[in-house]
Homo-oligomer: A and B are copies of this chain.
Amino acid sequence: MYMPEGKRRLAREDWVEAALAAVAEGGVAAVAVEPIAARLGTTKGSFYWHFPNRAALLEAALAAWEERTTTAVIDEIANATEDPAGQLRTLIVRVIEAAEGDRVGPALLAAAGQPAVARAIDRVTRARVGLIVTVFSRLGFPLAEARSRALLAYSAYLGHAQLAHSTEGVLPDTAADRRAYLGDVMSVLTAGARPGTAGNARTADARRRTSDN
């Protein structure tokens, strides 16, 4: 739960942070002016100076979320100089870890009924799926299959995030088990890649696993 330090006056950004925290904890419906004001130790008077209304706060929060969970990641991966198999692994590991610690995404998916939320989700989804298609293409899959696998991979990611947050104990819980599970997933998703382009993911994974920890 976000809480600015000290007793200084608040900036627009403080409200955005608090709104994201509220989404994480209570869903989009929890983006409510008065409760958030209370949590920030202030009142509505402050809020309505920085924003015209509740919807504007939500919009700002969505934009912030979009920026930091997608735009930033895509820049990083798309420009990476690693080999494609390494890119995929980087992507998966980074993104799965992020998903497990972040409740905002699932909460937003839930509220896809609201137009503002739907628009943000739409943009993020297309950007992410596009990125994954690129990675699978670089791995040597023809475009049609890259698309299928990208959709499967992204679906799995979304579902994984849900599972991580909703049902304690279905996903493997020790660090070793998690790593092994990720390895299995990698190898299932990349099995059949054209050799010579990127090699077999399972062996690549095994190689890495012995050296980096």
Cβ of A204 within 8 Å of any chain B Cβ, yes or no, is no
A residues 38-93 in Cβ contact with B at 8 Å = none
Q: Tell me which of A1-9, A10-18, A183-191, A205-213 binds B.
A: A183-191
Complex Cα–Cα for A118 and B165 (A): 10
Taking the complex as formed, is A129 at the interface, i.e. its CB lies under 8 A from any CB of chain B? yes
A-B contacts, 7 listed (Cβ < 8 Å)? A109-B110, A122-B167, A126-B170, A155-B159, A155-B160, A158-B162, A159-B160
Chain B neighbourhood of A35, CB < 8 A: none
A156 close to B (CB within 8 Å):
yes
Please tell me if the beta carbons of A125 and B188 are within 8 angstroms of each other in the complex. no
Pick from B110, B111, B152, B158: contact of A188, CB under 8 Å = B152
CB within 8 Å for A109 and B106 given contacts A118-B166, A125-B166, A149-B184: yes
The residues of B that contact A166 with a CB separation of less than 8 Å are 109, 112, 118, 121-122, 125
What is the minimal beta-carbon distance from A185 to any residue of chain B, in angstroms? 5
User: Within 8 Å CB of A118, what residues of B?
Assistant: 166
Contact bitstring A94-124, B, C-beta under 8 A = 1, else 0: 0000000000001101111100001001100
Q: Which residues of the other chain, B, contact A113 by a CB distance below 8 angstroms?
A: 25-27
A10-34 interface code vs B (CB 8 A; 1 in, 0 out): 0000000000000001110100000
> In the complex, what distance in Å separates the CA atom of A26 from the CA atom of B158?
21
Across the interface, which residues of B come within 8 angstroms of A29, CB to CB?
A: 27, 29
Contacts of A189 in B (CB 8 A): 188
Closest to A164 in B: B155
The answer to the question of A171 belonging to the interface, with a C-beta cut-off of 8 Å to chain B, is: yes
**Which residues of chain B have C-beta atoms less than 8 A from A163's C-beta?**
125, 151, 154-155, 158
Whether B185 pairs with A148 at a CB distance below 8 angstroms is: yes
Contact B152 A185 (CB under 8 A): yes
The verdict on A121 contacting B151 (CB below 8 Å), with A110-B106, A159-B156, A162-B158 known, is no
